[in-house]
Chains A and B, each alone.
Chain A
Amino acid sequence: MSINNIVTKLENLLRSETKSCFVGIWTDEHQMIAAATKVREHGCKEFDCITPFPMHEVDEAVGISRSIIPWVTFFAGLAGCGFGLWFTWWVSAVNWPLNIGGKPMWSLPAFIPVIFELTILFAALSSVGAMFALNGLPKVDPPVIDPDLTCHKFAVYVLESDKAYDKAAIEKIFSDHGAETIKMAEI
């Protein structure tokens, strides 16, 4: 198998299936936010905004709930702490006992730094891992709705699979709020 084949295989593995969606595009972010709020009030759940810069208003307009990552961090931290406790005990009192300075084999104060670092290591790596997993990263070659969405345009897209998906109603919301472009796209 050539290198190219492997790369293609890997790419296909990381290339998620696209879903079709209905998109409205604005150059005015306030109208985009108003439209997104209306889409949420319409009852849609599977929809999101694409903005060229972070906008805190989007969280509220789309109704994004809090991430579960803090819980991942917390329990991974506890796991790291527990692992550190067990590991320092096993290494220094069971598997390879070494007497240092006449102190007990398993002297907790000496191992607190190790346990502390393992707590942080587990918590930090798990948080980053969970962030990647929840965002579906890494992703290869995702479809582009409009190249200007990374520059000066704002979009709201509603997935066709949404239970409350109603093309006519959403089209009306988009056009009422003055969307420049309204189209079907892949995401």
Chain B
Amino acid sequence: MASANVNLELPKDYEVSAKTKTMMSILMFIGLVAFTMTMVNNPERAWSAYLIGLFYFITLALGGLFFVAIQHMTSAGWSVSIRRLVEAFTAFLPYGFALTIIYFIFGGPVLYDWFHADRVAADHLLAHKASYLNKTFFAIRILVFFGLWLYFAKRLVGSSVLQDKNKDVSLTTKLVKPAIACVMTFAVSYSFFSIDLLMALEPHWFSTIFGVYCFGGMFQSTMAALIILIYHLRKRGLGKGYITDDHLHDIGKFLFAFTVFWAYIAFSQYMLIWYANLPEETIFFKPRSEGQWMWVSLALMLFKFIIPFFALMPRWAKRNINHLVAISCLVLVMQFVDMYWLIYPNLDHHHTVFGLSEIGIFLGFVGFFIYAVTRFLSKNQIVATGDPRLEEALHHHVVY
């Protein structure tokens, strides 16, 4: 029940503990070692594993940006007290940009056939698509997309942080228009980004719903990561009175909704390709429905949709943080499996190549992401206390 928080203290500041610092250093070190060692033996595998981590965490960072933008766009009040945590995800974007440039220069030629003029010349379809799938245009797209994302992150998150200090109400009203622009450019840029990085691994294949598929997984995993971050803060005794069970309930609803959304889109993509049965479309699903890959496909359906779907259905499930964290961990693991399922069949059609390389390189990215997020949180307040709608968030009350 809503009660007046008359004497609510300002939220305590977040500090990166020595334990967290050691942990993320170790993770980054593991990532570096795993990458170097895999690079020596099998560069294609190293860059494939790198691409999993890269796309996974750029997706989380963009999920943060998108979530912030829709809150501003709809002038949402309920989410003000959790918004800063989502804003923290965007802190990975500059690092993601740097890591993407490294990937473009060194990883691109290894993974993409269309980086090589001789292979393009030998392949009629690649030659036909060369006006889009070529190195220069790819580089321009990366620069433009990251330019837009970094600009909007600076605009939306920067204003929010500035508002903590100057309490300027007009900053909030001024953000509606940039938020709308952000969402509209995001829809286009993220679609093309997923096409460029993932779909272009198999340049003969195309699916017009691919960007939406990646977006479904993006929103789902962003909500899962947010729940885990809230859990981490609660363990530290932070955000009390600001981040309540009612907020968890609504984040849980989002997680539930986008679990369904992801499955809906995944099935839409599958069914239309299965029905039409055109060779240039089925080349994506053929390797994924045979042998070991079939098990990965079925695991995706079961653990990324069916289990979270039923586990998040009851009301109590969305208000119990331990339960939510368990489901969020499952969703985040399955988001990794999803990336793996999208990328690795291009490496080996018949076998699920998996080992310490994949785990190690991914852990490196985990360390990087934790570093970016915790650094942002330690430099700023953990709640956007300057936002004029904060009161509304503190009284947020979810009836059903």
Give A residues with C-beta under 8 Å from B.
56-57, 59-60, 66, 70, 74, 101, 109-110, 112-113
Contacts and interface: CB of A to CB of B under 8 A. Distances in A.
Given A56-B1, A70-B314, A70-B315, 16 more contacts: A56-B2, A56-B397, A56-B399, A57-B1, A60-B1, A66-B315, A101-B275, A109-B267, A109-B270, A109-B271, A109-B274, A109-B275, A110-B271, A110-B275, A112-B271, A113-B271
Contacts of B270: 109
Contacts of A66: 315
A113 B1 CA distance: 40
Nearest to B275: A110
Interface of B: 1-2, 267, 270-271, 274-275, 277, 313-315, 397, 399
Contacts of B274: 109
19 contacts: A56-B1, A56-B397, A56-B399, A57-B1, A59-B399, A60-B1, A66-B315, A70-B314, A70-B315, A74-B313, A101-B277, A109-B267, A109-B270, A109-B275, A110-B271, A110-B275, A112-B267, A112-B271, A113-B271
A74 B309 CA distance: 12
Nearest to A100: B275
A110 B313 CA distance: 26
A70 B314 CA distance: 9
Residue from A74, A109, A112 with most neighbouring chain B CB atoms (10 Å): A109
Contacts of B399: 56, 59
A112 B267 CA distance: 9
Sorted nearest first, the 10 A-B pairs with minimum C-beta distance are: A109-B271, A109-B274, A56-B399, A60-B1, A56-B397, A112-B267, A110-B275, A112-B271, A109-B270, A101-B277
B81 to A, nearest CB: 19
B105 to A, nearest CB: 41
A12 B40 CA distance: 87
Contacts of A59: 399
A49 B5 CA distance: 27
Nearest to B277: A101
A162 B75 CA distance: 47
A27 B315 CA distance: 35
A57 B397 CA distance: 11
B184 to A, nearest CB: 30
B319 to A, nearest CB: 12
Contacts of A110: 271, 275
A113 B270 CA distance: 12
Contacts of A56: 1-2, 397, 399
Nearest to B2: A56
Contacts of B315: 66, 70
Contacts of B277: 101
A101 B267 CA distance: 20
Contacts of A113: 271
Nearest to A59: B399
Nearest to B271: A109
Nearest to B267: A112
A112 B399 CA distance: 33
A59 B397 CA distance: 13
Contacts of B2: 56
Nearest to A61: B1
Contacts of A74: 313
Contacts of A101: 275, 277
A66 B319 CA distance: 15
A121 B267 CA distance: 20
Contacts of B267: 109, 112
Contacts of B271: 109-110, 112-113
A113 B267 CA distance: 10
Contacts of B397: 56
B273 to A, nearest CB: 10
Residue from B1, B2, B314, B397 with most neighbouring chain A CB atoms (10 Å): B1
Nearest to B398: A56
A15 B319 CA distance: 41
Nearest to A60: B1
A74 to B, nearest CB: 7
A62 B270 CA distance: 50
Contacts of A112: 267, 271
Contacts of B314: 70
A177 B2 CA distance: 22
A101 B399 CA distance: 50
A138 to B, nearest CB: 24
A145 B277 CA distance: 67
A25 B1 CA distance: 24
B57 to A, nearest CB: 33
Contacts of A109: 267, 270-271, 274-275
A112 B271 CA distance: 9
Nearest to B1: A60
Nearest to A66: B315
Contacts of B1: 56-57, 60
Nearest to B264: A116
A66 B314 CA distance: 12
B361 to A, nearest CB: 35
